[in-house]
A and B are shown apart, each in its own frame.
Chain A
């Protein structure tokens, strides 16, 4: 039971990170109807920028951990958002009115570009960082000597995710930008006739998605203590799976899917085999898609007139 509780905590933390990335997939799909395969690499870029910012701050002699974390968070969000904007501007917008597959192929290409760019710029080796946030709480000490622990970094990951989600939900549901985004999602032509700059709104969607991915990248760095140029691929595919599982296009669905994938993966690793954790996650996806083609919270596709 203790073991299970511990895995539950680990799964929720991993799931939060997947959820943050999945929101970027689902948002972009909602508004432009394409899968942004470069999004996983945006997450990787976010991790690298967090690492670089962290090292720069430390080399300046900063030691106040909360301040460092805040600066790293803001800087990596800002710069990664710029990456997101640039990718949309150069790789997707010129193809907006092309055939349906074109932006998706372009996205796959962009994913390779970002991966290799990071490899060239940062080297192929795994970049470790010493544990920045240490300590934690012992929740329960079992009879067999097994200890259920909740580390500080886990708390930070979950709290950050919850705060960002609340902020993001507020943004989409009750701000001008959120309204414009939903309007573009439903009818781009009509939105532009009402004066909404559709291109700009789509850009903002990419910017917000990239900023959330940057947070996920930073959390990943803090939690696992390493980044490498290839981590965007698997994480991206997992988050995409999460978005599809939850129902692509649905924001709560993305978060729910992220949590489920995180839990499935962790529990499978804990009870069966670590090697096959990805198989478990993707098998669940296949089963869900057979019985619920629109995902858990997705709406059935309505043919647009």
Chain B
């Protein structure tokens, strides 16, 4: 593979006791592109995310992150806050995990912890209110407000995040992840529970992030309208293995993919395709 991959997953396997959730999976996510990871429920998509973001130690295999500046980071060796700090990987979850008791603005401020930590000289400069710290804090607030404006929530900056409408919370989560200034953004079903209009605005947001920030995006998604519209590359998983990959159009017409989604075997799927469309 000669493509410029920011993330290269190589022969990744994850076992839980006797269950093989991910089995010898290899794929890459291209730099500044949107890669979608799709598959039926239980295919192992979220497990892959959990390996990438340090929740699970993979049973075997490696995940390499190649930064723009040439640094290579083996993700399986990091965990915890280092995923964000050193690897610059951000993620969201299937369920919303904002800090519900904090305001929208504060949620975005927490995400800038690392930048502020550097500026505050391990808290001390911050306590005495050094000028360099004040500049950094102002920059952080500005960045947070910029993102709030982009997702249309500027007028609700001081509302508790838990009181925002569901669709707004989804977008706020993405904005928060972006405030960590990630190189790779991993989104786990960002369109789950959104109506058609909200899905469309989500697609727009993700395309804008790719265009303006140049962030590489890896997403798990069941909403095919979103996947087909924004993905540059699609990886299809079933039962822990990769069954297909390619452009959205290519994947959509792949009999193996249709079979996996319909739960039928391949010949039946081909029969359905030929008789239907």
Judge: A and B partners, yes or no.
yes
Known contacts A177-B123, A180-B113; decide if A193 and B91 are in contact (CB<8 Å). yes
The answer to whether the Cβ of A192 comes within 8 Å of any Cβ in the partner chain is yes
Given A176-B113, A176-B116, A177-B123, A193 and B106 contact (CB-CB distance below 8 Å): no
A197 and B81 contacting across the interface, CB-CB below 8 Å = yes
Q: A176-B116, A186-B99, A186-B100 given as contacts; is B111 within 8 A of A195 (CB)?
A: yes
A residues contacting the other copy or chain, number (CB 8 A): 21
Task: Write the chain A residue with the least CB distance to B176.
Answer: A194
A190 within 8 A of partner (CB): yes
B82-90, B200-208, B215-223, B227-235: which lies at the interface: B82-90
Tell me, yes or no, whether B117 is within 8 Å of chain A by CB. Answer: yes
| B85 x A195 contact (CB < 8 A) | yes
Cβ–Cβ contact B113 & A195, under 8 A = yes
Which A residue's beta carbon lies closest to that of B89?
Answer: A193
Chain A residue at minimal CB-CB distance from B100: A186
Cβ contact within 8 Å between B101 and A182: yes
Q: Is the CB of A195 within 8 A of B99?
A: no
By a CB distance below 8 angstroms, the chain A residues around B101 are 182, 186
Q: Which residues of B are found within 8 Å of A197, using beta-carbon distances?
A: 80-81
A176 contacts which chain B residues (CB < 8 A)? Answer: 109, 113, 116-117, 120, 123, 126, 137
| A193 in contact with B110 (CB, 8 Å) | no
Q: In the complex, which residue of chain B has the Cβ closest to the Cβ of A197?
A: B81
A229-B137 Cα distance, complex, nearest whole Å: 44
> Are B180 and A195 in contact (CB-based, < 8 A)?
yes
CB distance A196 to B81 under 8 Å?
yes
Q: In whole angstroms, what is the CA distance A186 to B98 when docked?
A: 9
Residues facing A in B115-171 (CB within 8 A) are 116-117, 120, 123, 126-127, 137
A190, A192, A198, A204: the one contacting B99 at CB < 8 Å is A190
Choose from A177, A187, A193 the contact partner of B90 (Cβ within 8 Å): A193
> A305 contacts B111, CB within 8 Å?
no
- B52 CB to closest chain A CB (Å) equals 11
Q: Is B113 touching A193 in the complex (CB atoms < 8 A)?
A: no
For residue A110, give the distance in angstroms from its CB to the closest CB of chain B: 25
User: Is A183's CB within 8 Å of the partner chain B?
Assistant: yes
A192 touches B81 (CB 8 A): yes
Asked if A191 is an interface residue, CB under 8 A from chain B, the answer is yes
Interface size for chain B: under 10, 10 to 19, 20 to 34, or 35 or more residues? 20 to 34
A82 to chain B, nearest CB (A): 16
Are B102 and A186 interface neighbours, CB within 8 A? Answer: yes
The reply to whether the CB of A179 lies closer than 8 angstroms to some CB of chain B is yes
Q: Which residues of B contact A196 (CB under 8 A)?
A: 81, 110, 113
Complex Cα spacing A182 to B103, Å: 11
Residues in B neighbouring A283, C-beta threshold 8 A: none
Complex CA gap A204/B106 in Å reads 20
Q: How far apart are B180's CB and chain A's nearest CB, in angstroms?
A: 6
Residue of B nearest to A302 (CB): B100
A:161-186 near B, CB below 8 Å: 175-177, 179-180, 182-183, 186
How far is B189's CA from A269's CA once the two chains are assembled, in angstroms? 62
A239 to B117, CA, bound (A): 33
CA separation between A187 and B90, bound complex, in Å? 16
Which residues of B are found within 8 Å of A183, using beta-carbon distances? 99, 102, 110
From residue 246 to 264 of chain A, which have CB atoms closer than 8 A to chain B?
A: none
Contacts of A187 in B (CB 8 A): 97, 99
Given contacts A193-B84, A195-B111, contact A179 B97 (CB under 8 A): no
Across the two chains, which residue of chain A brings its CB closest to B95? Answer: A305
B72 an interface residue at 8 Å Cβ cutoff? no
Q: Does B114 contact A (CB under 8 A)?
A: yes
Is the CB of B47 closer than 8 A to any CB of chain A?
Answer: no
| Known contacts A176-B117, A179-B102, A183-B99; A191 and B110 CB within 8 A of each other | yes
Minimum C-beta distance from B136 to chain A (A)? 10
Tell me the smallest distance from the CB of B130 to a CB of chain A, in Å: 13
Structural contact, A190 and B97, CB atoms closer than 8 A: yes
Report A-chain residues with C-beta under 8 Å of the C-beta of B102: 179, 182-183, 186
Closest to A194 in B: B111
Kindly state the separation between the CA atoms of A161 and B235 in the bound complex, as whole angstroms.
60
Question: Are the CB atoms of A195 and B114 closer together than 8 Å?
Answer: yes
Tell me if B53 counts as interface (CB < 8 A to partner A).
Answer: yes
Measured between beta carbons, the chain A residues less than 8 angstroms from B123 are 176-177, 204
Q: Least Cβ distance of A199 to chain B in Å?
A: 8
**Is there contact, CB below 8 Å, between B180 and A194?**
yes
Residue pairs across A and B with Cβ atoms less than 8 A apart, 16 shown, are A175-B127, A176-B123, A176-B126, A177-B123, A179-B110, A183-B99, A186-B99, A186-B101, A190-B93, A192-B81, A192-B84, A193-B83, A194-B90, A195-B84, A195-B85, A305-B95
What residues of chain A have their CB less than 8 Å away from a CB belonging to chain B? Answer: 175-177, 179-180, 182-183, 186-187, 189-198, 204, 305
Across chains A and B, which 10 residue pairs bring their CB atoms closest together, nearest first? A195-B84, A195-B114, A186-B99, A183-B110, A192-B81, A194-B111, A190-B97, A195-B113, A196-B113, A176-B116
6 more A-B contacts (CB under 8 A) besides A176-B137, A193-B81, A305-B97?
A: A179-B109, A189-B97, A192-B84, A193-B84, A195-B84, A196-B81
